[in-house]
Amino acid sequence: MTPIELALSKFPNARRSGSGWIDCCPAHKDRTPSLSIHEADDGRALLKCFAGCTFEAICSAVGIAPRDLQPPTSSTSTKPRPTRKSTGIRRQASEKPKGKAFPTAGEAEAQLERMHGPPVGRWEYHYARGEVVGIVLRWNRPGGGKDIRPVSRFPDGWRIAGMPPPRPLYGLPGLAGARRVYIVEGEKAADAARSLGLIATTSAHGAKSASGTDWGPLAGLEVIFLPDNDDPGRQYVDVVAAILGGLEPPPTVKVVELPDLPDGGDIVDWLEARAGADPAEMRREIETMVDGAEAIDLPAPQVDAPLRYQRFPVEALPEPVRGFVRGAAKAIGCDPVYVALPLLVGMASAIGTTRRLRLKHDWLVPSIIWGAIIGESGTSKTPAFSAAMQFVDLRQQLQMERYAIAMRDYQVERTRYEKEYSLWKRDKHSTADPPEEPQEPQPERSAVSDTTVEALAPLILANPRGLLLKLDELSGWFGSFDRYAGGKGGGDSANWLSMYNAQSLIVDRKTGTPRTIYVPQAAVSVCGGIQPAILHRSLGREHRESGLAARMLLACPPRMPKRWSEARIDPADHSRMAQVFDRLYGLQPGVDDEGQSCPVVVMLSVDAKKSFEEFYNANGREQATLTGDLAAAWSKLEEYPARLALVIHLARWAADDPTLENPEQVDAASMAAGIQLVGWFKGETRRIYAMLEESDEDREDRELIEWIERRGGRASARELQQGNRRYPKAEMAESALNELAKAGRGQWVDSPKGAQGGRPSRVFVLSDAPPANETPEIPAESEGSVDVDGREDRQTPPDSDWGEVA
């Protein structure tokens, strides 16, 4: 029996996937297949658990000796190399990198050139905004093979060390607005694909370090693998595909194997074999293969593990919104979504009823967004909310100042009128008409804080453009729904559901004149903050069943450690953001055939409509697999890409975006941004709904994991005991960490020295590094290096300043 036959005999339920098989991993509680089974070129049977279980643990769980999966003639050792990724857990970025820090990247590169001579290859890695974060250099060895050295940015300068995870994709800025992205293995291969005009990327530091990269920018796109023609290349596809399967929305993935590749060959070899051919023809050849390929089934994400917070896609926002969000988040020290979500709601309210987006003949989408930022007290959500709302507040202030002036003029006119009316009334012989009574001015309003529909109705009638309900604490809004329903649900909630779609509103008041108020087009955007526990109490079952909760865009980022910063919002970004609001508030509605005010209808471009149709169909397929609250949320999220795309389109217009070709059409770029944002909100909705339903034990586990993440992803039992009051005894702290280890959430590792430099101690390390919330703060400490290409033929000199890290 061959090694692969022996392996498959232990997994009778394994099913084919690409060039191998997948099955549930026997070494941990696995509800969805996370185990990949492959046959290597030399006859070995390869077992890989994407949840992090070791090769030895998998073999032990099914009663196989690791040596039994080696070919009889193989001399390959089954003992994992100590610096390779054998445990499934990356060494965390909390270990101080070795070696010297250089003031500039150029000086670090110069040091390497003095050691190795001029490099034959140099590649830069950038954050989405273009900042260089890492450089990879390559030297060819005289006898064959290669040497790779990374240079990366750290708080104290540039070091000859690998980038700490999560790392950006290669060529990240160039992925903005892409619909199809090619994934290859290595920067040289990515450049080769780009030479044909393809949008291509790869992960940093080699095929075996793919899990250290942030693949979030590929969510919802069409992703094409062009794998190397060897076993590591096929494994790279499996590893990355498993990661892509956990994105929201997941991308459409195809694998295209280039023909006639030599063993170990890649697209570089494919192009060299066609030297002199027309690049356009070669590109068409690849695209023809892509069009004819079938999409592969992505491994389902682990549903039994706690859902992880994903980085908010700030890059989806247009300038200057993007720059303002980044600047405000950095100055405040908060997650960017705390600024971005209220800012999007504020811009939607500024547009109000002046515009609607036509999806089809009878489907017009209003500019109305409801959002809630969720966080404990002390998470800086209130300063972030204030920063985003300042432009609405400024307009409200100007409106009230104009109202005060109008009221003074009105009082003068009223006094004059009363005198003239008194004289007219005393003159019994006068045949003149009575003097005209001045009308009391009505204040213009942009924002309100009264949550009752009875109080809002006259304000909406006086401000047909629409209003923004802005609340520091949303619990009062949820509570108002039941105020007039005897606490049984209902009340104002039905009227609020109408206002979400800018429909007509009729309110019968108990007092005041008139008693009945009719608003033909009632539009109110809503935004505010709320604490998780209060949300759990306020968002009762009736509000979920009514669909009110499903209409909310929710964001609940984990708590971030506070750090003092002198950063401030760039005055240019602030000024440009103020200009955007001024122009949005300056939009005027149209006039219908009867002379009545009506929204101006904005159309979709052909490409934008195609993108929305693809999203709509994919969302429908997802919704068909869901039940309860998530199914209700997906039914409302199907329209949100269009609402967000309308806001983004008009923000681009207001900012004089030179790439905006037609102000009267939402283009593909705006729709792609709306779809990307909704993909993020889908993932966050899943996570928050799971939080609302979690048991006390689940909540304690999640909070413990988040506590460890804030410490850089690792903690000893003693540190947990001293830093978390829930575990007053060391035994309790160690027991809690042991439970996380049993659940596959992390692993114990030996620390060289204890906290006081004494004897070695054990440290618990989470399986995955915490995701980046935004263009990451450069970590205070990071691993000295990484496994940059995963090749067996590369050896690191013993005295090197950097080493391999999984």
Taking the C-alpha atoms of residue 665 and residue 668, their distance in angstroms, rounded to an integer, is 10
pLDDT band at 481 (very low <50, low <70, confident <90, very high): low
- For 251, other C-beta atoms within 10 Å of its C-beta total 23
Domain containing 267 — which CATH number?
3.40.1360.10
**Arithmetic mean of pLDDT, 303-312:** 69
Q: In what order do the strands lie in the sheet with 35-39?
A: 15-17, 20-23, 35-39, 45-49
Tokens of 254: 């195809």
One domain, residues 687 and 724: no
The pair phi, psi for residue 143, each rounded to 5°, is: -95, 15
Does residue 527 form part of some domain? yes
Which pLDDT does position 543 carry in this prediction?
A: 63
Same structural domain, 579 and 643: yes
Cα 203 off chain centre by: 18
Identify residue 572 by its one-letter amino acid code.
A
Q: Are residues 164 and 42 in the same domain?
A: no
- Structure confidence by residue, pLDDT tens digits, 366-380: 999 999 999 988 888
The predicted structure's pLDDT at residue 542: 60
Q: What does the block give as tokens for 161?
A: 């060390």
pLDDT at 86: 27
Query: H or E stretch including 182?
Result: strand 180-183
CA 303/CA 305 separation, integer angstroms = 6
**Longest CA–CA separation in the chain, Å:** 126
**Which pLDDT score is estimated for 751?**
66
Tokens (6 digits) for 707: 């506590």
Tokens of residue 150, six digits: 């990374």
Residue 700 binned pLDDT confidence (cut-offs 50, 70, 90): confident
Arithmetic mean of pLDDT, 105-118 = 91
Asked whether residue 650 is domain-assigned, the answer is: yes
Residue at token pair 């005198």: 419
Is 772 a member of any domain? Answer: no
What value does the mean pLDDT take over residues 284-294? 96
How many other CB atoms are there within 10 angstroms of residue 543's CB atom?
18
State mean pLDDT over 427-438: 87
pLDDT above 70: residue 127: yes
Residue 22 sits in a domain of what CATH number?
3.90.580.10
The beta-carbon contacts of 724-729 under 8 Å, at least 24 apart in sequence, are 726/700
Out of 292, 322, 344, pick the residue that ends a domain. 292
| Confidence (pLDDT) at 618 | 87
Cα 349 to Cα 527: distance, rounded to the nearest angstrom: 10
- What's the rounded Cα separation, in Å, for the pair 264 and 40? 13
**Domain presence at residue 468:** yes
What pLDDT is recorded for position 493?
A: 74
Structure confidence by residue, pLDDT tens digits, 322-361: 999 999 999 999 999 999 999 999 999 999 999 999 999 8
Q: Report the interhelical angle of 668-693 vs 628-637 (nearest 10°).
A: 160
CA–CA dist 459, 747 (Å, integer): 58
Residue with tokens 């992090």, as numbered in its chain: 52
Provide the domain limits for residue 155. Answer: 101-292
CATH assignment at residue 590: 3.40.50
Give the pLDDT of residue 779. 36
What's the pLDDT band for 303 if we cut at 50, 70, 90? very low
* pLDDT recorded at residue 373: 95
Here the tokens at position 233 are 């290349």
Residues 265 and 365 in one domain: no
What is the overall mean pLDDT for the chain?
Answer: 82
pLDDT at 85: 28
What pLDDT, in 10s, does the model give residues 492-512? 777 888 899 999 888 887 777
* Domains held by the chain: number: 4
Average pLDDT on 252-275 reads 94
Residues 744 and 689 in one domain: no
Q: Are 348 and 202 found together in one domain?
A: no
Average pLDDT over residues 249-255: 94
Q: Which residues pair with 505 in a beta bridge?
A: 519
Distance in angstroms between the alpha carbons of the first and the last residue of the chain: 33
Let me know whether 515 and 663 are in one domain: yes
Residue whose pair of structure tokens reads 């520091």 in the numeric block: 472
Q: What does DSSP say about strands 180-183 and 200-201: parallel, antiparallel, or unpaired?
A: parallel
In degrees and rounded to multiples of 5, residue 319 shows phi and psi of -80, 145
Residue 46: its pLDDT value, please? 84
CB 443, CB 398: distance < 8 Å: no
| Separation CA 429–CA 425 (nearest Å) | 10
Cβ(565)–Cβ(331) below 8 Å = yes
Average pLDDT score over residue span 389-394:
95
Torsion region of 43: left, alpha or beta (phi above 0 gives left; psi -120 to 50 gives alpha): left
Same domain, 654 and 725: no
What is the per-residue pLDDT for 17? 60
Query: Are 236 and 355 in the same domain?
Result: no
| CB-CB contact of 48 with 317 (8 Å) | no
In the predicted model, is pLDDT for residue 158 greater than 80?
Answer: yes
Q: 626 or 496: whose pLDDT is higher?
A: 496
771 pLDDT tier (thresholds 50, 70, 90):
very low
Return the residue matching tokens 């998530």: 630
Q: Two tokens at 529?
A: 């903050």
DSSP symbol at 413:
H
Its pTM stands at 0.58
Instruction: Give the tens place of pLDDT for each residue, 32-84.
Output: 667 888 777 667 888 877 666 778 778 888 888 887 887 654 333 333 333 22
Query: What is the structure's pLDDT at 42?
Result: 67
Report pLDDT for 89: 27
Q: Among 292, 325, 349, which residue terminates a domain?
A: 292
498 and 626 co-located in one domain: yes
Identify whether 369 is part of a domain: yes
Residue 27 in any domain: the answer is yes
409 occurs within a structural domain: no
Q: How confident is the model at residue 318 (pLDDT cuts 50, 70, 90)?
A: very high
- Does any domain span residue 568? yes
Task: Check whether residue 625 and residue 751 sit in a common domain.
Answer: no
144 with 229, same domain: the answer is yes
Q: What is the chain's length?
A: 806
